[in-house]
Amino acid sequence: MVLASIGNFLVFFAGDIVQRIRTGRRRMSHQAKVFATVPDEKEPRHRCHVCGKTDLTDPLLDFRYCSKCAGDQCYCPEHIFNHVHVPSDDEKQKSP
C-alpha cells in the first residue's frame, strides 16, 4: 500500500518536479553568466542629460525619460519640465 501511494504521487508530480529542476539549473547558469560579465566599476543606470547627475551620486532622485525627445534622454526632477527637447534626425531635416 505504501509503495502504491508513493508511486501514485511520483506519477502525478514527476513532470512538475523535473520541470522545476530544469528551470532551476537554467536560472543558475544564466545568473552565473550575468554576474561574470559585470564590470568592476559601476556604471550609472540613469544620467541627467542636462546636469549630469546620476543615480549613483544621488540615489534618492527619481529620474524620468522625456517622450518628446529623440532617443533615451533621461532627466532629473529639476530638468524634466524645463529642458530643450532633442529632435530626431527626421525633424532636423524638416525644419529650415
Residue range 80-92: mean pLDDT, rounded: 78
Cβ pair 53, 76 in contact under 8 A: yes
Give CB contacts under 8 A, 24+ apart, made by 33-40: none
Cβ pair 50, 79 in contact under 8 A: yes
Could you tell me the pTM of the whole model?
A: 0.50
**Domain limits, the chain:** 1-38, 41-88
The x, y and z cell numbers of residue 69, run together, are: 525627445
Per residue in 12-47, pLDDT tens?
A: 888 898 899 999 999 999 988 887 765 556 788 889
